[in-house]
Amino acid sequence: EAGVAQSPRYKIIEKRQSVAFWCNPISGHATLYWYQQILGQGPKLLIQFQNNGVVDDSQLPKDRFSAERLKGVDSTLKIQPAKLEDSAVYLCASSLVWDEQFFGPGTRLTVL
């Protein structure tokens, strides 16, 4: 069974630029999550989708971050414009059973 796929694996941008990350969850997993993991910290949930609807986006900085899951499968997370403090690993996860989440390898973002 294929795992959660993410791309790109690495991205370096200048502050105020835009960036987008892509995630393809495990086949059949209706729930998809985006997390931000700052160096030395545990992952922090940004947004959770159930199929193509948003379940929880309470910790998403909506002034600059957006996410969508149009067809209930793939998802994209966008940052526009990026700030220095957005440097982190962005993890995508999916689950069939609540709480038992399977993570992708992440995208390491560096904002200069």
Partner 1 sequence: GQQLNQSPQSMFIQEGEDVSMNCTSSSIFNTWLWYKQEPGEGPVLLIALYKAGELTSNGRLTAQFGITRKDSFLNISASIPSDVGIYFCAGRGYGGSQGNLIFGKGTKLSVKP
Residues near partner 1 (CB under 8 A) are: 4, 31, 33, 40-45, 48, 55-56, 91, 93, 95, 98-106
Taking residue 60's Cβ as centre, other Cβ atoms within 10 Å add up to: 19
Buried b / exposed e across 31-44, counting CB within 10 Å, b at 16+?
Answer: bbbbbbbeeeeebe
Closest CA to 34 of 78, 80, 1, 2: 78
Please answer whether residues 45 and 28 qualify as being in contact, where contact means their C-beta atoms are separated by less than 8 angstroms: no
Residue whose CB is less far from partner 1, 14 or 100: 100
| Residue 99 beta carbon to partner 1: minimum distance, rounded to whole angstroms | 5
Shortest distance in whole angstroms from residue 102 CB to partner 1: 7
Query: Between 78 and 108, whose beta carbon lies closer to partner 1?
Result: 108
How near is the Cβ of 76 to partner 1 at its closest, in Å?
Answer: 18
